[in-house]
Amino acid sequence: LIYVQVNDTLPAEMVRHTTKEVLEHISYLEHLEIIPLLSEPSRRINEIINSKREELSSLFFAESNFLDRVEWNCAGERLDLLTMDEEVYDYIIEKQICDQLANWFQEEYSLRVLVRVLGTGNEPEIPSETINAEHKAEVLEIKDYGRVSKQTGKKDKRKRELLERQEPIKLSDLEEGLKTVVVEGEVWKKEISTIRGNRYVISYYLTDYSDSLILKTFLDTLNEDRIEEGQWIKATGNLRYDDIARELVLFVESYLPTQKKVRKDDAAQKRIELHAHTKMSAMDGLCNVSALIKRAAEWQHPAITITDHGCTQAFPEAYQASREHKIKIIYGVEGYLVEDDKKDTPYHIVLLACNQTGLRNLYHLVSISYMNHFYRQPRIPRQELEEHREGILLGSACEAGELYRALLDGSAEENLEKIAAFYDYLEIQPLANNDFLIREGRVKDQEHLQQLNRCIVELGKRLNKPVVATGDIHFLDPQDEVFRRIIQSGQGYEDSEAQAPLYFKTTAEMLEEFSYLGKEEAQAVVIDNPSLINEMVGVIQPVPDGFYPPKIESAEEDIIKLTWEGAYKLYGDKIPEEIKARIERELDSITRHGFSVLYLIAHKLVKKSNQDGYLVGSRGSVGSSMVAYLTGITEVNPLPPHRLCPSCCYCEIVPDPVVGCGVDLEPQDCPLCGNSIRNDGFDIPFETFLGFEGDKVPDIDLNFSGDYQSKAHQYVEELFGSENVYRAGTISTIAERTAYGFVKKYAEEKQVIIKNSEVDRLVKGITGVRRTTGQHPGGLIVIPQDHDILEFTPLQHPADNKESGVITTHFEYHAIGEQLVKLDILGHDDPTVIKQLEDLTGVKAAGIPLDDKQTMAIFSSVEPLGVTEDDIGTSVGTYGIPEFGTRFVRQMLEATRPTTFSELVRISGLSHGTDVWLNNAQTLIEGEIASLNEVICTRDDIMIYLIQQGIEKNRAFQIMENVRKGKGLKDGQVNMMQEYQVPPWYIESCQKIKYMFPKAHAVAYVMMAFRIAYFKVYYPREFYASFFSIRAEDFEAETMLGGIDSIARRIQEINRMGFKAPQKEKKLLPVLELALEMNARGFKFYPVDIYGSEAHRFTVYKEGLLFPFSALPNVGSAAAQNIVEARAGGSFISVEDFQQRTRLNKTAMEVLKQHNCFHGLPESSQINLFA
């Protein structure tokens, strides 16, 4: 969409022609709509109405004289048709005059005018039931049925009763040509977009499981929105094609909340499901863990069992859901049983943990199945199972189980009894689960399937083994089979269309499934025997409560000592009371809850890295902790803005500072000793780190140099022993983009057309299904020496790759983050860049002033670089500055023009959040509704502001937690915020946010970025050398060596490609942008020199940089290193000598020749005596 400000109306044909011209010149645009915005819309629309009155009358009121009985009231781009006459009101609605008028304004003048009819009376209140239309993005306003005027109350009641009686049309039956329709379904998604910053278009995505449909409405404020995701509604309105959605959309006239259609289990005695798969069953299970458990609880089932394929990764979430819904979980696994040979065809088995011993054995079996016996699946050898069977109930599983397979193979009775005797209970499943056996010709018919189940029942009776009926659940409801169908189709299953009904069945449904056994036997297998199994299983906790840090002798005393030593060093013997109280409060929380060890580990790691010459950057909220600052874990001082004299320790905390952080205070000399004062303090509350109770397990994330990361990991193993340190495991699931690929591929292969809205629903349904596992890039889990890892989690190799040599936790690391110490020791480029810059310049980064004005200026201007916007294509000088160099953030800088360090922190928060800047803060700032210093930028902003407004601190904290996690605000929270005079824009901003950055993280990032920016201003060649050596991935040597014109042309080529630019070009663009800037500042690139160039790093050389060997195409890392090593042995006497000593291949040699690297060297080492 392009909005164009105009002083007068434009002919629609002119707008259409301009649109066509733009589309022809910008090839990557698929759709464009130009929308003229009148500078005085009310005046011009009134002029149009008055000048076109006769035409309007003939077009829309030709059948009546009603035009004279309508008052036209225009406010902005909204046109209200006011009438006291009920007959006129009904006529306008029946003939859809509002809709026709909106279309007329669009067709004639390309104007989006909202048209609505209002019934007026003696009441001052405007009736809330109105009909609105806004062409293309137009919507019909939904109002609360409870808020109507006396004048229209009867009319609204009549409409409501009419809507209640009308039968909805099936969504899959909707087609173009239908006008007013009634639909019903579940709202599964809601989207909010802003019109010109002060009105909202709400899109509700509705499904009745046959298809999906977008419903649109328009609201003045978000508080008017009464529809939530998951709600069932019946709605009526106008159905037509929408250019933006690119499909049929219902523009809502009215709606009613309706009862959600859910299956219920009304049986007096409830069944218990003993075989259920969640999304953790890789590429097979579709049940959301919490939703499955919630359903079982709603049906009042006594328990529910989790038995994913080969894994226990759903256990932690299942446990939390069981506590929430107050239902017992039986923890199990559907495993793969083999004899000794790992390549034997495995049989499915079900293992249920009866108690904590059984859980420990289950974790052991899962671990060895992944670590020692993985072959296509995690396999459990029979002998291992027998040795670790204590506390485990063993079930015979499905048709892939040993017993069922023996039955299919026609095994003798004696062998069947021997097999069945191995199990603690036997399973039978609904006939439709095994219909594929009929299709494959392995069984004759349904009667044959029944007979197989009868055989298992009889075996159970003879051997006194309980026989249980299980559903082998893979999805929650019958309609969810489509998700599994799409996933299986994407994996090449030929019978994916013939999905078995593997949904969660009620007691009545299961009794009906097994009615062929007779009423008594069906009762036994469906209800009685599963209850018997349940009684044999205790209440189990998959991960213990409590925090289990490793032990370091005197850790508590050390942290206390280090903290006060740091405090006295900075603030002297007379520490100000406010600072002293903060330190004592933090130390009390840290020591009381056993977090001293975690702080001490982090202290040791940072100290070791610093001693070895590498700075460490902190991440997350650790910078909220004054103790972390005083012990050297972070460089972020979280105190309020204050002045501190390094010489005499004079300290002044600035009361009610007008600046956002101490760095922005005006420089001044110490009033006591006259020396320069240091300004510090970023005003970050400790509570955002450990909570108001101080009991939240701290997550200390540290950015080490990528060159140093492995040494830091090794140091942790030295501290605690390698046998107690594991890599933090991760779970890779189907991402939204991958899910989209599955859905589109399915539609293509099956040759079906799926609407965009339904594609979105299908994508949502299969997103989150487990694909594989992995490892956190820097996360380490530390086990205390007196505990065993199997108390907390099984183990495995990442992605089941034994050759990796890495052992990870089986549980995703967040699942055990409250119990065990997790160290995020990440590799990052910033500390590496800083180290190189320090080595090149001799300047220590820690001493760089964070209030340097020239450095600050490049975040709003290019003047300090000595170039112009025309020279480098941007008006800010942040190319190559971490966190501020991307096009997205540069646009933010151009929109805000920051002049203070605290503004940079706020921009960092905005740029790292999700839905914090776009369609949120950006709109507020551009609309002059709020300033950069007022909008929400970091999670801490919310809590601090709400407490300032008078809201109780714990409630403010909870609101902050909800918003930062994307959960929005609950109704009670909205009401409370309104009571405390929180402005509407602030509340709406909270509702939009999906993720927020902590302020401490933003400060740490900006500190590192500012230091690098300082080098860019004052040590340009060294800055460019470090960027191109460490950050850049792709180069075009020929382009970069060609100078300004060559680089500029290539940038233009890539920009013209737009979104269609290949990934290689996208990665190259920032490299070229910085190369252009370097040239514009008067520096240049020098071609590779076989004696001067380094293998991988750009070298400061003359008036610019010397290219390294590896920056040339087809000269790999090993080849570049070979050249450097070979030249150490002496000069090359010829090209032939060079190739022999460096062992470069022909391709690499050709590249070097093209770049004139062998200038002056003879081709051959042979001497021509007769020359």
Judged against a pLDDT cut of 50, whether residue 160 lies above it is answered with: yes
Interacting residues of 695 by C-beta distance below 8 A, sequence separation 6+: 589, 593
Q: What would the DSSP string read from start to end of 1085-1139?
A: EE---TTT--SSS-EEETTEEEPPGGGSTT--HHHHHHHHHHHTT----SHHHHH
pLDDT value of position 10: 63
Residue 1171 pLDDT class (50, 70, 90 cuts): very low
Residue 365 has pLDDT above 60, yes or no: yes
> Residue 82 — very low, low, confident or very high, per pLDDT cuts 50/70/90?
confident
Of the candidates 632, 614, 634, 809, the residue with the CA atom closest to the CA atom of residue 731: 809
Structure tokens at 78: 């909204």
Determine the pLDDT at residue 751. Answer: 87
Percentage with pLDDT > 70 across the chain: 88
Residues 6+ apart with CB under 8 A from 1128: none
Question: Which of 364, 473, 391, 383 is closest to 810 using CA atoms?
Answer: 364
Packed helices 41-51 and 97-109: angle between N→C axes, nearest 10 degrees = 100
**DSSP code per residue over 329-362:** EEEEEEEEEE-S-TTSPPEEEEEEE-SHHHHHHH
User: 450, 469 in Cβ contact below 8 A?
Assistant: no
Judge whether 198 and 183 are in contact, CB under 8 Å: no
Question: Is the pLDDT confidence value at 217 over 50?
Answer: yes
Q: How far apart are CA 791 and CA 784, in angstroms?
A: 11
Least confident of 641-650, 697-706, 891-900: 697-706
Model pLDDT, residue 68: 66
> Among 907, 912, 915, 939, which residue's Cα sits nearest to residue 994?
915
Taking only the tens place, the pLDDT of each residue in 686-719 is: 887 777 776 677 777 788 888 888 888 888 888 8
**What is the pLDDT at residue 427?**
96
CB atoms within 10 A of CB 425: 22
Taking phi over 0 as left and psi of -120 to 50 as alpha, with beta for the rest, 263 belongs to beta
Whether residue 133 has pLDDT greater than 50: no
Q: Tell me, what's the pLDDT at 91?
A: 74
Which of 338-342, 373-377, 811-815 shows the lowest per-residue confidence on average (mean pLDDT)? 338-342
For 420, list phi and psi in degrees, rounded to 5.
Answer: -60, -30
Beta bridge partners of 653: 642
pLDDT above 50 (res 45): yes
Predicted confidence (pLDDT) at residue 526 exceeds the cutoff of 90 = yes
Model confidence band, residue 126 (pLDDT cutoffs 50, 70, 90):
very low
pLDDT digits (tens, 9 = 90+) for 230-250: 889 888 888 888 777 788 888
| Average pLDDT score over residue span 929-957 | 89
* SS3 of the chain: helix, strand, coil, percent, to 5: 45, 15, 40
Pick the closest to residue 837 from 881, 878, 879, 874 (CA basis): 881
For residue 222, pLDDT beyond 50 = yes
Q: Cα 457 to the chain's mean position, in Å?
A: 48
Least confident residue range of 88-97, 546-555, 1075-1084: 88-97
pLDDT-derived band of residue 517, with 50, 70 and 90 as boundaries?
very high
d(CA 640, CA 685): 9
The CA distances from residue 215 to 102, 211, 350, in Å, are 18, 13, 46
**Residue 140 in this model has a pLDDT that exceeds 50:** no
Closest to 628 in 3D by CA, of 610, 601, 609:
601
Residue 1169 above 50 pLDDT?
no
Q: Buried (b) or exposed (e) across 771-781, using 16+ Cβ within 10 A?
A: eebbbbebbbb
Please state, rounded to an integer, the average pLDDT across all residues of the chain: 85
| pLDDT classification of 148: cutoffs 50, 70, 90 | very low
Residue with the bigger pLDDT between 224 and 1148: it is 1148
Give residue-wise pLDDT tens across range 389-434: 999 999 999 999 999 999 998 889 899 999 999 999 999 999 999 9
Residue with tokens 């990934």: 1063
Residues 6+ apart with CB under 8 A from 941: 909, 999
Q: Is the pLDDT of residue 102 over 90?
A: no
Per residue in 840-863, pLDDT (tens digit) is 999 999 899 999 999 999 999 999
Q: What is the pLDDT, as a whole number, of residue 660?
A: 84
Which of 646, 575, 628 shows the shortest CA–CA distance to 1003? Answer: 628
DSSP label at residue 255: E
Summarised one tens digit per residue, pLDDT across range 28-42 is 566 666 666 665 666
In the block, which residue shows the tokens 């702080």?
599
Q: Which domains does the chain have, with CATH numbers?
A: 2-257 (2.40.50.140), 299-472+506-536 (3.20.20.140), 848-913+1000-1018 (1.10.150.700), 915-996 (no CATH), 1037-1154 (1.10.150.870)
Whether the pLDDT of residue 1072 is over 50: the answer is yes
Output the pLDDT for position 63.
56
With a pLDDT cut of 90, the percent of the chain lying above it is 42
Token pair 């992995």 is at which residue? 774
Cα angle for residues 213, 219, 223 (degrees, 5° grid): 105
Among candidate residues 844, 900, 882, the one with its CA nearest the CA of residue 1004: 882
Upper half-sphere CA count for residue 549 (Cβ side, 13 Å)? 21
The 10 Å CB-count burial string (b at 16+, else e) for 863-890 is ebbebeeebbebbbbbbbbbbbbeeebb
pLDDT of residue 156: 56
The pLDDT value recorded for residue 24 is: 66
Q: How far apart are CA 348 and CA 336, in angstroms?
A: 5
Q: Which two tokens stand for residue 484?
A: 């599994």
pLDDT of residue 135: 30
Task: Tell me the torsion sign for CA atoms 829, 834, 837, 838.
Answer: negative
| Alpha-carbon distances, residue 1051 vs 24, 197, 252, 410 (angstroms) | 21, 34, 47, 72
H or E stretch including 435?
helix 435-439
Give one DSSP letter per residue of 864-885, joined into a string.
GGT--HHHHT-SS--TT-TTT-
Please state, in angstroms and rounded to a whole number, the distance separating the CA atoms of residues 245 and 1011. 46
Residue 79, beta-bridge partner list: 74, 115
Model confidence at 138, pLDDT cuts 50, 70, 90, reads very low
For residue 661, what are its two tokens?
Answer: 């952080």
Q: Give the per-residue pLDDT at 194.
A: 66
Between 137-141, 742-746, 954-958, 1067-1071, the lowest mean confidence (pLDDT) is in 137-141
3-state SS, residue 206: strand
